[in-house]
Amino acid sequence: MLLGGLVGCSSPARRAADPPVTASAPAPVSAPAPATSQIARSPVPVFADEPAARALYNKMIEAMRQAESLSYQSDYRRHRPDKRYMRDCTYTVWMKKPNQFRVETLTSKGKRGGVLIGDGDHLWIHWPGGRPYFSADPSRADNETRRKSYMKERTPIGRHSIGHKTGILGAGMGMPIIDPSTFHGYTDSLQRYIDGFRSLGTETIDGEECDGVEVSIMKGQRSWYLWLSKRDHLPRRLKQIVRVSFDLIMHETWSKVTFNAQIPDEKFVWAPPEGWKQWRLPDPAERLLKPGRAAPEFELASADGGKIKLSDFRGKVVWLYIWRSG
């Protein structure tokens, strides 16, 4: 069997042959009829765009980008509707123009997770409690450096994303609903797919009178529910639903919001202690099958909740197209 390729990621194509087959453009293969999904899908919302609701959202973006400094604490939680795969943590963000930032995390048990610091030119990530595992079978050298390692990357202003790094901090969170780097002029990839705004009315949250806005992305494949303070236009409560074969639900509650406050530069400075080593995430290419090896059996969930197994296509050319949005 030929596993024809992995497209849409940065890794080289994964190939295995039994026997080898050469084809420059393999024809599409129809999947077998999937089993009926056992998970009920949420109805996809469809609504007309409301200019007033769109204006409230734009005020939030404008407020973040015009601020000279911004900090807040967020209680973060994500789960499925049946409460499975519950993850929760607390993260605190401090940001300052033109390009400084700091993110600290706490696990649900109150233990420190990773710390992310941007000094204007580079970001630094270190883990006070030890780096989490990012590989199913870490090497001995990887284990030995867990408590004395750090990451370092360049951060071109307006072209880097804090949100894409928070999952590395190991505290139990994925990406924040609103990318903090919006403050520095970054525009996340989901913005071009927003197709509707509507009002959710007003609500008082921790003493702040807020306007509620629902944001539809990709015709309801993803929805944001934002409650924005009338005073500073920044969120106080956020919810996201990603609708696939099941709903993935995320909640955030912002507190201790400060706007244009003085934040000392020392907050955004860090240097690795003596004896620490720079570390990088494992390269997926290092774990790819070597040419000529048979592909192992695997099973994937189809888009409509069914199951597809590699063995269903035995003797045929298989092309895997892996993609994501956002």
Model confidence pLDDT, tens digit, residues 75-108 = 999 988 887 767 899 999 999 999 999 999 999 9
User: 313 is written with which tokens?
Assistant: 């296509």
Please say if the pLDDT value at position 67 is more than 50: yes
Please say if the pLDDT value at position 13 is more than 60: no
Does the pTM surpass 0.85? The reply is no
pLDDT tens readout for residues 302-319? 878 889 999 999 889 888
Residue 121, CB half-sphere, CA atoms under 13 Å: how many? 2
Please say if the pLDDT value at position 36 is more than 70: no
Domains of the chain: 51-278 (2.50.20.10)
What would the mean pLDDT of 220-243 be, rounded to a whole number? 96
Give bridge partners of residue 91 from the DSSP assignment: 74, 105
What would the mean pLDDT of 182-210 be, rounded to a whole number? 95
Tell me which of 15-19, 125-129, 159-163 is least confident. 15-19
Q: What is the pLDDT of residue 38?
A: 37
Measure the CA–CA gap between 237 and 202, rounded to whole angstroms: 12
Measure the CA–CA gap between 268 and 124, rounded to whole angstroms: 10
Across the chain, mean pLDDT equals 84
Find, among 224, 219, 287, 276, the residue nearest to 251 by Cα. 224
Please say if the pLDDT value at position 127 is more than 90: yes
Measure the CA–CA gap between 218 and 54, rounded to whole angstroms: 16
- As a whole-number percent, the residues of the chain with pLDDT over 90 amount to 61
Please say if the pLDDT value at position 231 is more than 90: yes
Q: What is the pLDDT of residue 23?
A: 32
Q: What is the pLDDT of residue 193?
A: 92
User: 217 is written with which tokens?
Assistant: 């992305």
- Decide: 205 and 227 in contact? Cβ < 8 Å: yes
Sign of CA dihedral 18, 23, 24, 27: negative
- Decide: 148 and 277 in contact? Cβ < 8 Å: yes
Q: What is the pLDDT of residue 1?
A: 41
Q: What is the pLDDT of residue 28?
A: 37
Q: What is the pLDDT of residue 2?
A: 42
Please say if the pLDDT value at position 178 is more than 90: yes
User: 132 is written with which tokens?
Assistant: 């989490």
Fill in the amino acid letter for 246. Answer: F
Spell out the SS3 assignment of the chain. CEEEEEECCCCCCCCCCCCCCCCCCCCCCCCCCCCCCCCCCCCCCCCCCCHHHHHHHHHHHHHHHHCCEEEEEEEEEEECCCCCCCEEEEEEEEEECCCEEEEEEEECCCCEEEEEEEECCEEEEECCCCCCCCCCCCCHHHHHCCCCEEEEEECCCCCCCCCCCHHHHCCCCCCCCCCHHHHHCCCCHHHHHEEEEEEEEEEEECCEEEEEEEEEECCCCEEEEEEEECCCCCEEEEEEEEECCCEEEEEEEEEEEEECCCCCHHHHCCCCCCCCEECCCCCHHHHCCCCCCCCCCCEEECCCCCEEEHHHHCCCEEEEECCCCC
Measure the CA–CA gap between 97 and 157, rounded to whole angstroms: 10
User: 194 is written with which tokens?
Assistant: 């927003």
Q: What is the pLDDT of residue 212?
A: 98
Sign of CA dihedral 17, 20, 22, 26: negative
User: 228 is written with which tokens?
Assistant: 């924005």
